[in-house]
Amino acid sequence: MVMHSTPLILALRVLIGGYLILSGILKLPDLKGFAGIASSYAIVPDRFEEVSRYMAYLLPIVEVISGAMLLVWILPEIALIFISLSLIIFIAAQLYEMKENPDRPNCGCMGTAVELKLSWEHILLDLGMLLAVLYMLLQVVI
């Protein structure tokens, strides 16, 4: 049963979809700067650094698309799976970086447009979004 019309699901779609669209749009004007921030996490072996940089260039576009898909409820299963996998990667990268470089001046969450210091609050926000996305995914597939 698809539960996309409940008030809770609608609120989650608007909040998370809107957040993804905003964060993607804020990264677009300076893709090179965002790619630099993303690659500085250094969680990918050096031999894959070029692939990692290309993925960083694509991420803001995919964030906008997946946020819009969630917001208007187009192919929700695909959007929710992609968003959940992205959040897992973001959380893992932030946890690794908190261990290696806890004073990182910009987590990159909003690209170079808004400088947000890496913090436990960002990790908790991503965890909360992941739980909400998994909840929506379960409502869609059950």
**What does the pLDDT look like over 112-137, one tens digit per residue?**
888 888 889 999 999 999 999 999 99
Q: Which residue has the tokens 């947000």?
A: 116
Q: Is residue 71 part of a domain?
A: yes
Identify the residue whose tokens are 């926000």.
125
Does residue 128 belong to any structural domain of this protein? Answer: yes
> Is 52 domain-assigned?
yes
> Residue 1: inside a domain, yes or no?
no
pLDDT tens digits, one per residue of 47-96: 777 777 888 889 999 999 999 999 999 999 999 999 999 999 999 989 98
Question: Which structural domain, as residue segments, surrounds residue 119?
Answer: 7-141
Amino acid at residue number 47:
R
Per the structure, the count of domains in the chain is 1
What is the predicted pLDDT for the residue at 4?
54
Residue 2 lies in a domain: no
pLDDT band at 1 (very low <50, low <70, confident <90, very high): very low
Residue 55 lies in a domain: yes
Q: Does 7 score more than 80 pLDDT?
A: yes
pLDDT of residue 105: 75
Is 86 contained in some domain?
A: yes
Residue 19 lies in a domain: yes
DSSP letter, residue 103: T
Q: Angle at the Cα of 64 (from 62 to 67), degrees rounded to 5?
A: 100
Q: What is the pLDDT of residue 87?
A: 96
Instruction: Say whether pLDDT at 32 is over 60.
Output: yes
Mean pLDDT across 100-119:
84
Please report the pLDDT score of residue 104 as a whole number.
76
**Residue owning tokens 């090179």:** 32
Mean pLDDT to the nearest integer, 17-42: 90
